[in-house]
Structure 1
Amino acid sequence: MNILTENFTPPYQSAPFNEINNEDYFPAFEKLIRESEDEIDSIVKNPSEPDFENVIEALAYSGEKLDRVSNIFFNLNSAETSDELQHIAQEVSPILTEYSSKISQNEALFRKIKIVYDQKDHYNLNEEQQMLLNETYKGFVRSGALLNEVDKEKLKKINMDLSLKSLQFGQNVLASTNNYFKHITRKSDLAGIPETIIEQYAEEAKERNLEGWVVTLQYPSYIPLMTYAENRGLRKELALANGKKSFDGGEFDNQDLIKDLLQLKQQKAELLGYENYAEYVLEERMAKSPAKVLDFLNELLTKAKPYAEKEIEELKSLAKTDGIDEIQGYDHAYYAEKLRKAKYDLNDEELRPYFPLNHVQDAVFGLANTLFGLTFKERNDIPKYHDDVKVYEVKENDEYKALLYVDYFPRKGKRAGAWMTSYKNQYRKNGENSRPHISIVCNFTKPTKDTPSLLTFQEVTTLFHEFGHALHGILADTQYPTLSGTSVKWDFVELPSQFLENFCYEPEFLKTFAKHYQTGEVLPNEKIEKIEQSKNFMEGYQTMRQLGFGILDMNYHTKVGELATMSIKDFEDKYTKAIQLYPSNPETAMSPSFSHIFQGGYSAGYYSYKWAEVLDADAFHYFKENGIFNPKIAAKYKILLSSGGTKDPMELYKNFRGSEPKVESLLKRAFG
């Protein structure tokens, strides 16, 4: 028996992680692909006249079991991978891509879809049904349904290559990250670094059977060193190692892979009738065109640059007191922290004891209860994929709403960063509302034998960010799985996450959970005021950094022809020159580890973080004007979240806010 092809029996049909063996995956995928193809065949061969129900709706509900197993496998490949899983991924990705291409290029199926689409005015469709029909038709056209047979084969090959190469990109970054560690034998080299972090480094050394201390490129290890280490040589060494990830010419180098990926995307765009890949992507975004995106980014760049330059001048002055005539990128975090301490008498290590992870999690759960009436109860009878993971049953008015998996600490098998994902989508069918299984994955500072996990304030905002995404999934309430939860336009998807971060800076809310893990003392008012005052500290620099990523991404996906005669490093330097605030180092480049656009879903879409900041600043301003816990506004916001992709996002936003978002809200919040 293969557990993956059976009906799941744990509570709420949750994934039976404890019973899955790696050898189950490949045969399960083969079987479930066959079953899904049979479902498609039954739609195609149905002798009845094509209509919305027997074509569009039937297609929307098809492949549910395959989707679930795919979600389980690829989520684990990100959160708890192994050499074996990565090998399986390389085998499975091509067959899944081929399956997807078979459906999207199935002429008989598309003919039926087109008949229904052409006759849509004859059906009495509600708004969600109209959206599903339009999205289904467009999705097939954008997947090559109108191409001739030769071009369909070309597109199929391109999609398969893209799938494998993007997977390889991520595996290279993970391997490159894990391959490096710095073994330190003299404690004096760690001067300036807080004892809690030094203790963490000692634990890492012990795990590797080494004496002394070990620093890695995992963010909870790397960032504190860059922020607090007085040893400038050590900061430089770590920054160089981080900047060389997949850029050192070795086994895990991604430079050629980037060129291959961009060429393939360009070929795909041209085959489908677009000038470049960004044009193809942005047709399905709020922003609509590369020109509009670049105008948006450059407008913010013009506003932010004077602030950023002024901030860097302050850091240069501070560095000069240490005899440094030319400040470098690897000095930034160290002197920014010094300046923040001088300006606000505040540093992350002073705040850590007030933000034990369990308090922060209770706070975000409590906020979801205040705004949306949700409750969270830990379940120990639901299978998990790792001992670090906890599972919560989410209810609303005592009615089951969702499962939430939380996975907070770094491991060798987990990729860096933080993300929200889904193991099961929400949808309604045959009178039943099938509820979602949502997951948050982070890389927070681990607990040690003496202290619980204590978060930096940035880690606090990260948890709120990912929980904002989770709420988008938990509150989903749509008919069709393809329009549910976070299945929205990509430049709208960051609104819920970035919106929730705003609460971290509200004094009345902070006081409810920022309490010392040993004494229970509430974070003093003066520190809360300092957090508020420091909210926009280095905002110019941070804005420039995000704009740089967005501008580079947009140029990669509109000017791929230039790469034929340029190195990745030269291209990166050329298109980030306007935002460079420190000298460029010839030995480092960020593109080869820019997983968001070369492995994840942010190709030609990185701008959406800033785009969504306009939305979130405007939305939170609405709450601030009327009370941050205002139940009427929370109820309207809940409708926005639960609606998923059933309406145009601007229409959803205007229904909530009463008007379109104003960029002035962001500028006012950022720069006063």
Structure 2
Amino acid sequence: MPDLNPLLQDYHLPPFSAIRAEHLVPAIDAIVLSSRAEVARIIASQRHHPNWDDLMLAMEAVTSRIDEVLSVIYILDSTTTDPRWLEASALATFRASAFTQELTGNQGLYDCYKALAASSSAALFDASRQSLLKRTLKKFRLAGIELEPAMQKKRVMLDHKIAGHQQLFLTRLEQANNAWRKHITDESRLQGLTPTLKARMAQKARAANVQGWLITLNDEIYRECMAYAQDRTLREEIFVAYNTRASDLGPHAGQFDNGPLLQMLRVSRHQKAMLLGYANFVELALELQMLETRDQVLDFIRDQIASSRTVFAHDKQVLEALGHELGLTGLQPWDFAFLAQIIRQRTCGVSEDDLRVYFPLENTLSQLFALVKQLFGIEISELYGFDAWASGIRLFQITEHGEVLGQIFFVPYRQNDGGYPYAISLRNRWTTAESRRVQPMAVLFTQFEGTPDETCLLGHRQLKILFHEFGHCLQQLLVGIGYRTKMGTDDSGIDSAEFFGQFFERWCDSPDCLAWLSSHFKTGASLPMAMARQQALYTDTQSSWEQAESLTLALFDMEVHGSQDDGRTIEHVFASANREVGHLPSLDTVRYANSFSHLVSGYEGGYYAYQWSEVLARRAFKRFEREGVFNAATGRAFREQVLAPGHSRSLLESVRLFSEEPSGRAP
């Protein structure tokens, strides 16, 4: 009798609605069992005379199958709190991860890859194949394949310990987020908040069966309260609750403390790096990035700090003057965003809500798709009648000259209070040994507030989120077209992957593009060009605080993972980084690091990538500024010189060629 497990059937679009908790572990077990047999067959056939199709592409078929099932499970995890599902998901993920570790610890498979790299045919491989083969061998070495058996066992134990601590960090952070609520019954305390934000707070109160308004530690709510709430004591209370989450301080001191956990992670990561022959964890983390050494990263960060000093000083002087004017004695951290917002509105004469009415989601999507058609020659159309995992999910298909290039699932609205915007790969593009093209798929989560039944209006920040995450999806679908090797965001370093999101954000800062994208949700009128220019000025005004925060976190990440033996605590390292940047206030009563989720989500030792990729993106976008932000020839050049090569050459080299700059220049 055939196995009816939906995860084991052949499908193009995943059968999301048919998947149940009882399907997960049996599916992974079956895939692992058949994959082990296939790997053994591959090793036996490739041991002496390996070739690309029968080794690299055959193994790609093995790993792609289990990777896609894991992606489907990960997506479904976000929609449920059912204990049966979560238990099955955790066990299935654990067994799949164990198999992945088994592969990178397989000496026979490693020997086949080494033999292929040493073969005469490898010298004739194109740049794409050589790059992928080199990265594959490096992943084996980073997994400890060349260690003695006892050391390999220790490395596996460290990986299990690190993974457990990372998951516990996120669990405690979620618990801390959910534990704090501020119930407001006196509307006067919400003076200054936008009608949009107050409506969301009222909706949360109704959902909790209480009257009035409910403030939570959702990132967007926190950010807007800090910027707009006129009640200083309310800002202070929210600031303290948010910045002491999962720590030994604040309203839930000690209940969900991530501090000791961070220190254990720091030690375990350092031990793993030392075991693999690195001086510290940063050196290990940089192995698959563009920058190669900790010193290079620190030089870059410190160059950014030095070049920002003048702006830092100016913004601080203007902000302190406004504080004095308003009678705010002894400025506190919860005053900075509030004062900066007033300065922006005074300087630019425009507010977030003034802009929001011109960017209803539906029209903005249509214009975004028209923009990429103009620039890159691709068509994006919506598909209907597909199997989705929740209501409100949409599916778009990308075609070129009638050929399907891939699909993007779009999840516009927040599915839980703690979610953040992101894009993930559901399936990478690659070509099988039989020359069958596997179409890529991506999933875009923007986490906007609202429901499909409401008119969703995007502020400038939400506009940037949409463009940023769409940039990641477009990279997934367009990177490496024309190459037979696997291409996808998963094969890029963090600093390369973040470039594409940062690059697409640049159109949101172009007055011409803002005016072209816009359509008033009631009248259909375009954003006046004067307002579009005001918005561009608004974005740059008092922006140094976000810049300083990003630089502080990047420097902290480098120091905390590169200075294990200097005796400093997590708090001391953060305070030192904050002092070196020298723009944000120093405060002993917060614990920023305890809720810094990038430390446990793949960006550890790589948070600098946001700054690095932004600098690189701004450099690349200068050509569009010279030649026109809607210039089709420039768009084709970007696609051909940056997107198409994928990992066949360095992103730095691709950007240099596109930017028409002399060689040797770095950000």
Structure 2 length-normalised TM: 0.93
Deviations 1:421-451 (A, max 9, x none): 11111111222221111111122232597x6
| CA distance in 2 between partners of 1:185 and 1:303 (Å) | 46
Higher mean C-alpha deviation, range 268-277 or range 474-483? 474-483
| CA distance in 2 between partners of 1:473 and 1:157 (Å) | 33
Does 2:25 match 1:23? no
| CA distance in 1 between partners of 2:577 and 2:584 (Å) | 15
Deviation at 1:379, TM superposition (A): 1.9
| CA distance in 2 between partners of 1:80 and 1:617 (Å) | 39
2:192 corresponds in structure 1 to: 192
C-alpha change, 1:405 and 1:347, in structure 2 (3 Å) is: same
C-alpha change, 1:371 and 1:142, in structure 2 (3 Å) is: same
| CA distance in 2 between partners of 1:463 and 1:455 (Å) | 9
Unaligned residue ranges in structure 1 (runs of 5+): 667-672
| CA distance in 1 between partners of 2:487 and 2:105 (Å) | 22
Residues 553 and 604, structure 1, Cα contact 8 Å, conserved in 2: yes
**Secondary structure of the structure 1 residue equivalent to 2:442:** strand
Residues 16 and 383, structure 1, Cα contact 8 Å, conserved in 2: yes
Does 2:494 match 1:490? yes
C-alpha change, 1:269 and 1:154, in structure 2 (3 Å) is: same
**Secondary structure of the structure 2 residue equivalent to 1:400:** strand
| CA distance in 2 between partners of 1:245 and 1:323 (Å) | 30
Deviation at 1:342, TM superposition (A): 0.7
Higher mean C-alpha deviation, range 31-40 or range 485-494? 485-494
1:272 corresponds in structure 2 to: 276
| CA distance in 1 between partners of 2:458 and 2:535 (Å) | 15
Residues 5 and 32, structure 1, Cα contact 8 Å, conserved in 2: no
1:629 corresponds in structure 2 to: 630
Does 2:466 match 1:467? no
C-alpha change, 1:456 and 1:613, in structure 2 (3 Å) is: same
| CA distance in 2 between partners of 1:45 and 1:167 (Å) | 38
Amino acid at match of 2:51: F
**Secondary structure of the structure 2 residue equivalent to 1:442:** strand
**Secondary structure of the structure 2 residue equivalent to 1:43:** helix
Residues 384 and 395, structure 2, Cα contact 8 Å, conserved in 1: yes
2:211 corresponds in structure 1 to: 211
Deviation at 1:490, TM superposition (A): 2.2
| CA distance in 2 between partners of 1:252 and 1:126 (Å) | 51
2:599 corresponds in structure 1 to: 597
2:401 corresponds in structure 1 to: 397
1:369 corresponds in structure 2 to: 373
| CA distance in 2 between partners of 1:523 and 1:661 (Å) | 40
C-alpha change, 1:6 and 1:22, in structure 2 (3 Å) is: same
Amino acid at match of 1:572: F
1:63 corresponds in structure 2 to: 63
1:540 corresponds in structure 2 to: 544
Pairwise mapping of residues 548-563 of structure 1 onto structure 2 (< 5 A)?
A: 548-562=552-566
Residues 218 and 410, structure 1, Cα contact 8 Å, conserved in 2: no
Deviation at 1:106, TM superposition (A): 1.2
| CA distance in 2 between partners of 1:317 and 1:257 (Å) | 41
2:511 corresponds in structure 1 to: 507
**Secondary structure of the structure 2 residue equivalent to 1:402:** strand
Amino acid at match of 1:611: W
Deviations 1:438-491 (A, max 9, x none): 111122232597x61112111111111111111101213265665334522321
Total equivalences in the alignment: 657
Residues 266 and 560, structure 1, Cα contact 8 Å, conserved in 2: yes
1:670 corresponds in structure 2 to: none
C-alpha change, 1:44 and 1:87, in structure 2 (3 Å) is: same
Higher mean C-alpha deviation, range 415-424 or range 82-91? 82-91
Residues 193 and 224, structure 2, Cα contact 8 Å, conserved in 1: yes
Deviations 1:364-421 (A, max 9, x none): 2121111112222222211112213211122222221211111122232x64321111
| CA distance in 1 between partners of 2:618 and 2:663 (Å) | 9
1:294 corresponds in structure 2 to: 298
Residues 236 and 334, structure 2, Cα contact 8 Å, conserved in 1: yes
Unaligned residue ranges in structure 2 (runs of 5+): none
Deviation at 1:132, TM superposition (A): 2.1
Deviation at 1:233, TM superposition (A): 0.8
**Secondary structure of the structure 2 residue equivalent to 1:392:** strand
2:267 corresponds in structure 1 to: 263
2:314 corresponds in structure 1 to: 310
C-alpha change, 1:232 and 1:557, in structure 2 (3 Å) is: same
Higher mean C-alpha deviation, range 293-302 or range 244-253? 244-253
**Secondary structure of the structure 2 residue equivalent to 1:113:** helix
Amino acid at match of 1:470: C
Higher mean C-alpha deviation, range 103-112 or range 57-66? 57-66
Amino acid at match of 1:298: R
1:97 corresponds in structure 2 to: 97
Residues 282 and 604, structure 1, Cα contact 8 Å, conserved in 2: yes
C-alpha change, 1:398 and 1:112, in structure 2 (3 Å) is: closer
| CA distance in 2 between partners of 1:394 and 1:515 (Å) | 24
1:360 corresponds in structure 2 to: 364
**Secondary structure of the structure 1 residue equivalent to 2:357:** helix
**Secondary structure of the structure 2 residue equivalent to 1:494:** helix
| CA distance in 2 between partners of 1:50 and 1:168 (Å) | 46
Residues 43 and 109, structure 2, Cα contact 8 Å, conserved in 1: yes
1:620 corresponds in structure 2 to: 621
Residues 94 and 160, structure 1, Cα contact 8 Å, conserved in 2: no
* Percent of aligned pairs sharing the same letter: 24
C-alpha change, 1:266 and 1:341, in structure 2 (3 Å) is: same
Higher mean C-alpha deviation, range 97-106 or range 341-350? 97-106
Deviations 1:192-247 (A, max 9, x none): 11222212211111111111111111123222222211111111111111112211
Deviation at 1:57, TM superposition (A): 3.3
| CA distance in 2 between partners of 1:69 and 1:415 (Å) | 24
Amino acid at match of 2:448: F
Does 2:327 match 1:323? yes
Amino acid at match of 1:652: S
Does 2:578 match 1:576? yes
| CA distance in 1 between partners of 2:64 and 2:533 (Å) | 50
Deviation at 1:135, TM superposition (A): 1.6
Report runs of 4+ in structure 1 exceeding 6 Å deviation: 661-664
2:653 corresponds in structure 1 to: 651
**Secondary structure of the structure 2 residue equivalent to 1:645:** helix
Deviation at 1:602, TM superposition (A): 1.0
Residues 93 and 163, structure 1, Cα contact 8 Å, conserved in 2: no
**Secondary structure of the structure 1 residue equivalent to 2:562:** coil
| CA distance in 2 between partners of 1:641 and 1:79 (Å) | 33
| CA distance in 1 between partners of 2:378 and 2:394 (Å) | 18
| CA distance in 2 between partners of 1:427 and 1:387 (Å) | 31
| CA distance in 2 between partners of 1:452 and 1:569 (Å) | 44
Residues 305 and 544, structure 1, Cα contact 8 Å, conserved in 2: no
Amino acid at match of 1:648: S
Residues 176 and 245, structure 2, Cα contact 8 Å, conserved in 1: yes
Amino acid at match of 2:393: V
C-alpha change, 1:48 and 1:377, in structure 2 (3 Å) is: same
Residues 375 and 632, structure 2, Cα contact 8 Å, conserved in 1: yes
Amino acid at match of 2:388: K
C-alpha change, 1:616 and 1:326, in structure 2 (3 Å) is: same
Deviations 1:616-644 (A, max 9, x none): 11111112212222222211211221332
| CA distance in 2 between partners of 1:550 and 1:136 (Å) | 28
2:51 corresponds in structure 1 to: 52
| CA distance in 1 between partners of 2:577 and 2:491 (Å) | 31
Deviations 1:87-144 (A, max 9, x none): 4454344433322221111112222222222225665322222222222222211211
**Secondary structure of the structure 1 residue equivalent to 2:196:** helix
| CA distance in 1 between partners of 2:553 and 2:470 (Å) | 24
